[in-house]
Amino acid sequence: MFVFDTLSLVFVFLILLGVVPNLFYTFGYLPHIERKAHFLIHYITFILSMLGVVTAGNALMFLLFWELMSLTSWQLILTEAKEKSTIDAARFYFFMTHFGFVFLLLFFLIVTDGDLEAGFGAMHGVAHAFAYPTLLFFFLILGFLSKAGAVPLHVWLPYAHPAAPSPVSALMSGVMLKVAIYGMFRFLFDVLYPWPMEWGVLILVIGALSSLIGVLYALSEHDIKALLANHSIENIGIILIGFGMGMIFDALHLDKLATFAFIAALFHTFNHMSFKSLLFMGAGSVLHETHTKNIEKYGGLMKTMPVTALTFLLASVSISALPPTNGFLSEWMIFQSMLGSHAIDNMSLKLAIPFAVFALALTGGLAIACFVKAYGITFLGLHRSANARHAKEVNRPMQTGMLLMAGVVVSLMLFAPAFIGLFDRALTSLGRSSVYQAIFPDGIWHIHSVGMHGGVVSPLILLAALLLITGLLWFGYKALGVKERIHRTWACGYRTHARTQYSATGFAGPIRRFFNWLYRPEEHFVKETLAGHATKFDRSSYDVHVKPLFERSLYAGTVALANRISYYVYRLAHFEQTRYAAMIFNLMLLVLFSYRIFAHQFSWATFALESVVMIITVKVLIIGEKS
């Protein structure tokens, strides 16, 4: 019924690390929520169901908890359903999560061979006997990646996660996405194990695309929670890059490199949980005090909300993958595993992987830009609105939650070797060879890459050196005994004003302009000129809105297609009743014919013949003569 092997326990640990600080935060946030009972019931069930998913021992339990997790989180989004956009977001989430569920169900129906209570080990044999393992793989990734929010199934995520109350956003982005990653680990290893290289390449491509697209749309976002949600897409992409590299190395029998890449993916899973939860909590605190999600309305919050500002800074440095934080360590490991690709013999693959390196590096650069924007516009400078001016530090339980999560971030950095050891053990339990000795050949101070002539990083030494030198500089400064004078900022003779500061829109301006071909933003520029002068004006406003490409093309396109099809079906249905029978007849023909493909009785001759029969029956029976 339940399994408690190392992989499950690792993810139970992850969920607990994410949940415990969140409980404190939620306790502080609770007075803000109107429907307390509704919220608490779903909140507790949500946490229990996530624990249930990662410990489920058979398909039935897994699907049960998975569905429970989806439904409770859907209800949690609807906790404060005052605006129509929240209800729309919840509906979108509901649809997408069940879109994924259908594929998971199909996957399990095939691999369990009807016995839903069989253990995962039993599924392995069935999956091997199945003729189309790639079909199973596609079911699996459609099911899990639609939950994890990988491109192109990510579109719901920037709507759904921000719409929930902040502690729930932190849980959804920080923890729930990781449950999908658990699913990938569990079923790829336990059920579909020896995989062809192409699957790994597909995951790598999805990962690289997700990371770039996530960070690019995060940059153009003004809603702080949507910005963070877009970063979740990016980080899931980074995890998938590590995962994909692991799958590729495994298929090529580069055992050590494969384990190293999987450890990197797991490590980034943990790191993303820690800093993304912290960021969502920080954003929630800011939102709680200023009552707006619009980043342009913040500013100067560092002076009044020091705890939030400091923890948010820690998380920002970490998510931007700057040394010596934990985010840097895992991204470093992923880079190292990609650099291990020079051990690959396949030339085309060897030449392709630098493009993934490029994508990840560009993602890193853009993430720095994005978090300078998020942090600088929110916490630095002058208050940009009255709401920001009246903000105070949040209550104690919320502060405790943030500080605890900051503690998790710091301990992931300080105890990286212990965590890597844990991940190594989890992967060993999945039948991989251990690389702990290769990563730490001489003590826990240096993390080594397992590739040939790989790099080395030593987080603790770096941290100590940075602290020491900063401290020395600071003492030097104090020793100089410099006089300090406070004066207002020089703004070329004008007073600095909240409106003369750089805005978030302006900050992302150059990057938005460079990626104009992708964004294709809708710009609204209004200028009220004075008495016919071309250059003098007293009011102007500039507003830019970016609608994501995938939403515009893929999703809007699907909706349009569905509308067209339903229109034709509607037209057919309004013909005389004989045509219903004809439609059913044709549908049966289609099912029978396509069954042959599954039953391995496929031949092109019969396929052509049957196609002709199908076309004739459709023409004669359904469409009939043109009237």
**C-alpha angle with apex 553: 552 to 554, nearest 5 degrees?**
110
Nearer to other proteins, 492 or 531 (CB): 492
Pick the piece of the chain touching other proteins (CB under 8 A) from 35-43, 327-335, 398-406, 423-431.
327-335
Pick the piece of the chain touching other proteins (CB under 8 A) from 247-255, 398-406, 453-461, 588-596.
453-461
Overall residue count recorded for the chain in this entry: 627
Nearer to other proteins, 465 or 556 (CB): 465
Cβ at position 322, least distance to other proteins in Å: 4
Scan for tokens 């399994």, then name that residue. 3
Query: 98-117: which residues touch other proteins (CB under 8 A)?
Result: none
Collect all residues with Cβ–Cβ distance below 8 Å to 439 and sequence separation of at least 6. 260, 263, 420, 424, 447, 448, 449, 450
Collect all residues with Cβ–Cβ distance below 8 Å to 303 and sequence separation of at least 6. none
Cβ 228 vs Cβ 276: under 8 Å: yes
Cβ at position 251, least distance to other proteins in Å: 20
Rounded CA-CA distance 54/61 in Å is 10
Nearer to other proteins, 18 or 381 (CB): 381
Q: Is the dihedral of CA 402, 281, 261, 57 positive or negative?
A: positive
Nearer to other proteins, 151 or 339 (CB): 339
Asked if 178 interacts with other proteins (CB under 8 A), we say: no
Cβ at position 301, least distance to other proteins in Å: 9
Count other Cβ atoms within 10 Å, centred on residue 604. 7
Nearer to other proteins, 148 or 334 (CB): 334
Given 151, 278, 377, 394, the residue binding other proteins (CB under 8 A): 377
Rounded CA-CA distance 233/79 in Å is 24
Q: Retrieve residue 567's tokens.
A: 């229109």
Residue 324 preceded by cis peptide, ω within 30: yes
* Binding footprint of other proteins, residue count (CB under 8 A): 80
Nearer to other proteins, 473 or 560 (CB): 473
Binding mask 477-506 for other proteins (x = CB under 8 A): x--x-xxxxxxxxxx----x-x-xxx---x
Binding mask 120-159 for other proteins (x = CB under 8 A): ----------------------------------------
Asked if 392 interacts with other proteins (CB under 8 A), we say: no
Pick the piece of the chain touching other proteins (CB under 8 A) from 110-118, 352-360, 397-405, 420-428.
352-360
Paired residues of 522 in beta bridges? 545
Nearer to other proteins, 123 or 377 (CB): 377
Cβ 463 vs Cβ 324: under 8 Å: yes
Nearer to other proteins, 284 or 459 (CB): 459
Query: 213-272: which residues touch other proteins (CB under 8 A)?
Result: none
Nearer to other proteins, 163 or 366 (CB): 366
Cβ 58 vs Cβ 116: under 8 Å: yes
Cβ 412 vs Cβ 418: under 8 Å: no
Nearer to other proteins, 153 or 412 (CB): 412
Asked if 354 interacts with other proteins (CB under 8 A), we say: yes
Given 226, 449, 450, 582, the residue binding other proteins (CB under 8 A): 449
Q: Retrieve residue 106's tokens.
A: 């199909």
Cβ at position 88, least distance to other proteins in Å: 33
CB burial string 17-52: b at 16+ within 10 A, e below: bbbebbbbbbbbbeebbeeeeebeebbebbbebbbb
Query: 281-310: which residues touch other proteins (CB under 8 A)?
Result: 300, 302-303, 306
Asked if 466 interacts with other proteins (CB under 8 A), we say: yes
In eight-state DSSP terms, residue 457 is: E
Query: 25-64: which residues touch other proteins (CB under 8 A)?
Result: none
Cβ 544 vs Cβ 521: under 8 Å: yes
Cβ at position 32, least distance to other proteins in Å: 26
Which parts of 502-603 fold into alpha helices (H)?
Answer: 504-507, 509-514, 516-519, 549-550, 556-573, 578-598
For the chain, the straight-line distance linking the first and the last C-alpha, in angstroms and rounded, comes to 62
Nearer to other proteins, 131 or 492 (CB): 492
Pick the piece of the chain touching other proteins (CB under 8 A) from 38-46, 189-197, 249-257, 365-373.
365-373
Can you give 465-482 as a three-state secondary structure string? HHHHHHHHHHHHHHHHCC
Cβ at position 210, least distance to other proteins in Å: 17
Query: 508-567: which residues touch other proteins (CB under 8 A)?
Result: 508-511, 513-514
Nearer to other proteins, 8 or 230 (CB): 230
Asked if 315 interacts with other proteins (CB under 8 A), we say: no
Rounded CA-CA distance 254/538 in Å is 66
Amino acid at 53: V
Given 335, 419, 423, 519, the residue binding other proteins (CB under 8 A): 335
Rounded CA-CA distance 594/610 in Å is 10
Given 44, 465, 584, 597, the residue binding other proteins (CB under 8 A): 465
Rounded CA-CA distance 73/43 in Å is 8
Cβ at position 535, least distance to other proteins in Å: 17
Nearer to other proteins, 64 or 361 (CB): 361
